Amino acid sequence: MNLDELSAGDVVVRVAYSSLNYKDARAVTGQGRPIMRRTPLNAGIDLAGVVESSADPRFTPGMRVIANGMGLGEAHDGGFAEFARLPGDWLMPLAGTLTLRSAMAFGTAGYTAALCVHRMEINGQRHDMGPIVVTGATGGVGSIAVRLLAARGYQVIAVSGRPEHHAWLRDLGASDVRTVEQLGLGDKPLERTRFGGAIDNVGGTLLAQLLPHIVEWGNVASVGLAGGAEFATSVYPFILRGVSLLGASSANSPMPLRREIWRRLGDDLNVADIERFVTKEIGLDQVVPTAIALLDRQLVGRAIVRP
């Protein structure tokens, strides 16, 4: 595409990095519910780059900026390209200690993990309520959630179907790593309380089985559907234990919340060792095979894309 063919916007950004998220993998392989709402379209739901030109007075050439969600890579040309053109209202200047690269090492996955921690804490999550379960723990959201929670002093139980990566998860700060089977979850409407809360990337039966084990006033952030979109539960954990099920939606987070989370990622939620999550740096030609590997559960951590 030429610049004038890109989706409309008042700021042109030279993309330094984007990242490969579950949604991108679905978009570029066409698996599941369609992600891209039109073609041709550049995929890539997040990007970090440098302002090339701007008709918006808030942005001047040379400024380092990031964007995630807002329909990027779904309805608006996204980050898997050398340039993106987007409305200034969607852009944020890089905050705190973030670099263009570390911003996309976090990317949508890190943003979403941080959003979960933020929502849980403003809803009263405390260390003394017990360990936090992170499901789909080797994935982008899961692995960063493990690290963020551990860095904030929580005990973390990482749940992963891949025992070969359990040592890596312990290294990131998980105090315990288990397969779903090793968790030994029950199937009654209320079970013995064992967990302070959860960040759930998997959905389906696993989410349904976690809720009855959450302590009074604990929080469960529902992030993903890697294992299934539907789940059946009872209201008992909510009405008898005050458990909260919190939504975490990165694509359409309101701008003030988005700025707050990125500010925190550049500041108090910034884990200094973010490079440990970057298991792959790829060019555009490697996006599709890497997406297939992600969907086949062959990746761990984060793949960043350098257009």
Ligand X SMILES: NC(=O)c1ccc[n+]([C@@H]2O[C@H](COP(=O)([O-])OP(=O)(O)OC[C@H]3O[C@@H](n4cnc5c(N)ncnc54)[C@H](OP(=O)(O)O)[C@@H]3O)[C@@H](O)[C@H]2O)c1
CA distance 306 to 85: 17
Amino acid, single-letter form, for residue 283: G
Strand partners, 220: 198, 245
Nearer to ligand X, 61 or 289 (CB): 289
Nearer to ligand X, 129 or 269 (CB): 269
CA distance 261 to 281: 24
What SS3 state is found at 11? strand
Identify the residue among 225, 265, 269, 271 touching ligand X (CB under 6 A). Answer: 225
109 binds ligand X (CB under 6 A): yes
Task: Report in angstroms how near the CB of residue 54 gets to ligand X at its nearest.
Answer: 28
Q: Which of 281, 287, 136, 112 is nearest to 207 (CA)?
A: 136
CA R_g for the chain = 19
Contacts (CB under 6 A) with ligand X, residues 189-208: 201-202
Nearer to ligand X, 25 or 129 (CB): 25
CA distance 131 to 193: 11
- Which x/- pattern over 120-159 shows residues binding ligand X (rule: CB under 6 A)? ----------------xxxxxxx-----------------
Contacts (CB under 6 A) with ligand X, residues 248-307: 248-251, 294, 297
Task: Report in angstroms how near the CB of residue 238 gets to ligand X at its nearest.
Answer: 20
- Write b or e for each residue in 25-55: b if 16 or more Cβ atoms lie within 10 A of its Cβ, otherwise e: bbbbbeeeeebbeeeebbbbbbbbbebbebe
User: Which stretch, 5-13, 83-91, 186-194, 225-233, contacts ligand X (CB under 6 A)?
Assistant: 225-233
CA distance 229 to 224: 8
What does DSSP say about strands 278-282 and 156-159: parallel, antiparallel, or unpaired? Answer: unpaired
DSSP 8-state assignment for residue 276: G
Task: Report in angstroms how near the CB of residue 211 gets to ligand X at its nearest.
Answer: 17
CA distance 151 to 196: 17
Task: Report in angstroms how near the CB of residue 290 gets to ligand X at its nearest.
Answer: 11
23 binds ligand X (CB under 6 A): yes
Nearer to ligand X, 100 or 225 (CB): 225
User: Which stretch, 7-15, 29-37, 126-134, 246-254, contacts ligand X (CB under 6 A)?
Assistant: 246-254
Nearer to ligand X, 21 or 42 (CB): 21
Identify the residue among 32, 88, 93, 161 touching ligand X (CB under 6 A). Answer: 161
Identify the residue among 223, 271, 274, 304 touching ligand X (CB under 6 A). Answer: 223
For residues 29 and 71, is the Cβ–Cβ distance under 8 A?
no
CA distance 19 to 230: 27
183 binds ligand X (CB under 6 A): no
Six token digits for residue 305: 């894309």
For residues 214 and 157, is the Cβ–Cβ distance under 8 A?
no
Identify the residue among 22, 83, 90, 106 touching ligand X (CB under 6 A). Answer: 22
182 binds ligand X (CB under 6 A): no
Count, residues near ligand X per rule CB under 6 A = 29
Where along the sequence are the contacts to ligand X (CB under 6 A)?
21-23, 108-109, 112, 136-142, 160-162, 201-202, 223-227, 248-251, 294, 297
